[in-house]
Structures are given as C-alpha cells and as structure tokens.
C-alpha cells in the first residue's frame, strides 16, 4: 500500500504538466500511466504548434488557459531544453467571403487583447509565403504562434516532476477505484495506490476512468486527425503555419513546418467510435491533398516521409471539462481536445491552484532541482557529436548510428537509462529521433533494435 496526497491518472502532456506543478509543493504525488511509455495516446499525434489562443472561443476557460500556457511556455521551455520557433500563423482568404471571415478574426482578436494579430493584404501575404497558391486576397497574421517539440515537451514535464520528487509508474493502468474513509484506493496490476485526491487526466479514456469512480457525466468522442509528413526538402516552400479561413464547423487542414525541418499537412477532423482507430485512409489523403492543392500546390511534388493519424480527446461538449468534485477527493481534467499541448502549463497551474492549499494542504518548495531534456531541434544548442570535448571524453557521442537524423551511440545509451528510460523502439525514437529521418530506419533499424534488446552498441 502506497500513500499519496495526490494521484494523477494519465501521462499525456496534460498529466505530465499537472505532475510537474504538484512537484513544486511539499506533498507526495504519483503519476500513473497505462502504457509502457508516456505520451502515447492523444499527445503523440498532433501538429505541435504553440497556439496563442486567439482563435479559441472568447471568454472560455480554454482561452484563459491557452493564453497562460503560451505565456508560461515561452518563459519556462528554454530552461527545460525545449526548442521554440515563433514562425507565426497565417489564416488565408482566397475570396471575398473568406476575407470577411479573416478580417472579423483580426478585429475580434485585437479587441480581446491579441494586439500583435494583424490583417495582411496580398503584398504582405506573398512576401511571407512566395510559393502560396495565386489568388490570396487577405490573411490574418498571428506572429506569436510557434512550433515546438510535442513529445519532448511532455517528457520534460515528467522528468522535471520526477527529479523533484513525484513517483512515476508506466505500464500501470488503473483498473478500479474505491474510496474508504476519505482515501481513494486505485488498483493497478503492480500495486494498490492510496491517495487523498485523484486527478483524472486520462485523455481519450477519461470517461472510463470517471466510470471507475461512479461518474458518468462525460463521454469521450474521439476525433481523428490524419497527416502527411513531407520530406525536409519541402521546407523551402513554407516557413509559417498556413491555415485556411475557418468555416462554422472546422478550422480546416493546416500546412505547418515542424521543428525538425519537415512540413506537416493535416489534420483531418473525423469523429470515429474507436479511440485506437488511427488509420490513414484514402479519403483522408484525398482531403489533405485537396487542401494542399488549394493553398500550396508545390507541396504535392515533394517526397513524402511518413503518414500518421492522431486522436483528439473531444467530448460531447466543445470545451475543456475541468470538473472539481472536492467533496469526493476527485478532480476531472478531460476534454482537452485541440489545444492541450499549448495550454498544458496553464491547465496545470489552474488545477494545482484549485486544490492547494485548501483541499490539499501543502506549502510551496523553496528550492527546485533543474531538469533538462536533450535538445533535438534547437540550432543554438550543440548536439553531443558537434562538441569535440564531449566526444574526446566519451567517443560514443561521436559514433553515429542514425545518419539521417545524426543520432550517436551515446545518445541512444542515455535514452535507455535515466529516470524515465525508453523501453521500446518507439520510445527510443521519440527521445532521440533515431530512425525518424528520410530512410525511416532502413539503414540503422537493425542496430537500434539490437541496442534496445542488449543495451550494447
């Protein structure tokens, strides 16, 4: 029997950020994850844009928390080793009706305090994106939107939480929850975890976790988003986030540079009954290519590196579902659909602020231990193999395994150890980008698998 003040169920980006927030207090917290690695559900398949929140519903909790999340990300990500590029987002209108939509977006954004958002005419548009399809008449330009590293963000939050005292368990699905004498008992395959407060951050399965505790007032409606990832060669075509003018039902398909130098085309928005149905379909590809043809036709001539689908943890209501049930020692943090990567630090602050010190009595720590993830995409941070002194001290950092993404033996060895080690090929890929380049592991895959199995180069 373990005893905790707080148990957080789910290590997606939201649960990891919440765990990090609680690590700032003198209390005992645990983060429980069902899968063998963190960030393996909704948080693994997104566009990885850092949103300012200007296109979220005015007055909503989502807007409040995304604005705060964006602010905190800019302030805190660098010390965690996380890269950010504020490339800006352009919402483009190709006819008069769309022009009315984007100019209204600019007016409303500015009225709500997003003062850097501006309306561009054709000259301003083509100066920023010369390869854009002809015929653009107006655009909303949001220069503070950025691109980030989605996995490393969640990993950094979790690592920081663990370094600062939170216990983390992977492969620990919570399968039952019972409350006795003011304490929850959570059943996992390895142990029974006792906690005074439970925070449900279970994303796509938040309704199942709610049901374990007897709550039935939310239903997850998974919404799939398919993507095509273009080779780094395509990057010369676009260095801003391109968005079509939104319609009343969808924000449409984006074209977004990735922090790693690729170009993403997506996502679609399809309600599917099965949260694990991450198929890429012919219909999805047709929708994506039609969107590219309309906005950036040259993209279709570029080589494709990969395709994937992500799944939004939407619910029956288009809003964040943060529901305090303090009399029961339970807090629901669900329905974080489309902006959770950007909003996570805002959400975490809001959740912790709601319970400390009134529900969970704890003082803030005076000293926080630093945590940093390897920087995989920041041009200002040297990778180990470029650091002559480091290679001299440990030649494994100079021995390349993956030549596409330039990942060394030393980096793979490091990812296989540490406080939150990789136990699988996909976990290793996300921590190092090994096998994520142009050849997709054709040349290095066998060696990487052998390193994973044996721990030896």
Q: Are 93 and 362 contacting, i.e. CB atoms less than 8 angstroms apart?
A: no
C-beta of 225 vs 410, nearer to ligand FAD: 225
Considering the complex, what minimum distance in angstroms separates the CB of residue 5 from ligand FAD?
A: 18
Considering the complex, what minimum distance in angstroms separates the CB of residue 204 from ligand FAD?
A: 5
Considering the complex, what minimum distance in angstroms separates the CB of residue 315 from ligand FAD?
A: 11
C-beta of 129 vs 336, nearer to ligand FAD: 336
Residue in the block written with tokens 């529900």: 359
C-beta of 311 vs 435, nearer to ligand FAD: 311
Residue in the block written with tokens 């941070």: 381
Strands 138-142 and 118-120 come out as antiparallel
Considering the complex, what minimum distance in angstroms separates the CB of residue 94 from ligand FAD?
A: 23
Contacts with ligand FAD by CB under 6 A lie at 9-15, 32-35, 40-43, 45-49, 51, 173-174, 201-205, 209, 225, 267, 310-313, 336-342
Residue in the block written with tokens 């983390």: 168
Closest listed residue to residue 41, CA positions, set 264, 394, 312, 421: 312
CA–CA distance, 154 with 15 (Å, rounded to integer) = 9
CA–CA distance, 414 with 407 (Å, rounded to integer) = 11
C-beta of 12 vs 410, nearer to ligand FAD: 12
C-beta of 41 vs 349, nearer to ligand FAD: 41
- Which residues have a Cβ under 8 Å from the Cβ of 164 and sit 6 or more positions away? 20, 23, 24, 365, 368, 369, 371
C-beta of 221 vs 312, nearer to ligand FAD: 312
Considering the complex, what minimum distance in angstroms separates the CB of residue 351 from ligand FAD?
A: 12
C-beta of 18 vs 404, nearer to ligand FAD: 18
Considering the complex, what minimum distance in angstroms separates the CB of residue 200 from ligand FAD?
A: 9
C-beta of 314 vs 401, nearer to ligand FAD: 314
Considering the complex, what minimum distance in angstroms separates the CB of residue 451 from ligand FAD?
A: 25
Closest listed residue to residue 342, CA positions, set 27, 60, 23, 71: 71
Considering the complex, what minimum distance in angstroms separates the CB of residue 384 from ligand FAD?
A: 29
Q: What is the 3-state secondary structure (H, E, C) of 225-239?
A: EEEEEECHHHHHHCC
Considering the complex, what minimum distance in angstroms separates the CB of residue 150 from ligand FAD?
A: 7
DSSP tag of 117: -
Considering the complex, what minimum distance in angstroms separates the CB of residue 90 from ligand FAD?
A: 15
Closest listed residue to residue 152, CA positions, set 310, 43, 75, 72: 43
Q: Phi and psi for 120 in degrees, rounded to 5?
A: -110, 145
Helices 340-355 and 13-22 meet at what angle, rounded to 10?
40
- The two three-digit tokens of residue 247, written as one number: 């319609």
Residue 293's SS3 state is: helix
H or E element, residue 369:
none
- The two three-digit tokens of residue 139, written as one number: 């655009």
C-beta of 9 vs 259, nearer to ligand FAD: 9
CA–CA distance, 308 with 135 (Å, rounded to integer) = 31
C-beta of 35 vs 408, nearer to ligand FAD: 35
CA–CA distance, 365 with 16 (Å, rounded to integer) = 19
């Amino acid at each position: 029997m373990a005893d905790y003040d707080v148990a957080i169920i789910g290590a997606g980006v939201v649960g990891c950020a919440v765990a990090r927030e609680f690590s700032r207090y003198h209390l005992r917290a645990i983060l429980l994850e069902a899968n063998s690695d963190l960030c393996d559900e909704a948080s693994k398949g997104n566009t990885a844009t850092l949103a300012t929140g200007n296109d979220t519903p005015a007055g909503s909790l989502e807007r409040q928390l995304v604005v705060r999340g964006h602010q905190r990300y800019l302030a805190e990500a660098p010390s965690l080793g996380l890269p950010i590029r504020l490339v800006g987002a352009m919402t483009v209108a190709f006819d008069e009706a769309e022009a009315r939509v984007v100019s209204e977006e600019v007016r409303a954004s500015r009225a709500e305090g997003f003062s850097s958002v501006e309306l561009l005419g054709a000259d301003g548009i083509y100066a920023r994106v010369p390869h854009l399809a002809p015929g653009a008449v107006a655009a909303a330009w949001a220069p503070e939107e950025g691109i980030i590293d989605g996995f490393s963000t969640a990993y950094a939050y979790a690592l920081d939480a663990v370094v600062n005292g939170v216990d983390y368990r992977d492969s620990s699905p919570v399968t039952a929850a019972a409350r006795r004498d003011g304490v929850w008992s959570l059943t996992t395959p390895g142990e029974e975890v006792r906690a005074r407060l439970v925070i449900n951050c279970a994303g796509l399965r938040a309704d199942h976790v709610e049901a374990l505790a007897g709550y039935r007032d939310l239903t997850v409606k998974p919404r799939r988003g398919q993507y095509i990832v273009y080779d780094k060669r395509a990057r010369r075509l676009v260095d801003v986030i391109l968005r079509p003018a939104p319609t009343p039902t969808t924000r449409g398909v984006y074209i977004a540079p990735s922090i790693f130098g690729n170009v993403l085309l997506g996502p679609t928005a399809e309600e599917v009954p099965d949260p694990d149905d991450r198929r890429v379909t012919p219909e999805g590809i047709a929708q994506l290519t039609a969107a590219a043809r309309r906005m950036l036709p040259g993209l279709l001539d570029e080589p494709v590196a990969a395709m994937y689908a992500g799944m939004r943890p939407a619910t029956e209501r288009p809003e964040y579902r943060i529901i305090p049930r303090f009399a029961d020692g339970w807090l629901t943090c669900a329905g974080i659909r489309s902006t959770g990567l950007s909003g996570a630090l805002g959400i975490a602050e809001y959740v912790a602020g709601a319970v400390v010190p009134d529900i969970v009595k704890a003082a803030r720590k005076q000293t926080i231990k630093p945590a940093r993830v390897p920087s995989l995409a920041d041009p200002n941070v040297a990778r180990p193999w470029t650091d002559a002194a480091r290679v001299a001290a440990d030649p494994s950092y100079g021995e390349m395994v993956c030549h596409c993404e330039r990942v060394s033996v030393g980096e793979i060895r490091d990812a296989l150890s540490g406080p939150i080690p990789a136990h699988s090929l996909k976990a290793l890929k996300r921590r190092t980008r090994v096998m994520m380049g142009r050849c997709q592991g054709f040349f290095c895959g066998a060696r990487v698998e052998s390193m994973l199995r044996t721990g030896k180069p």
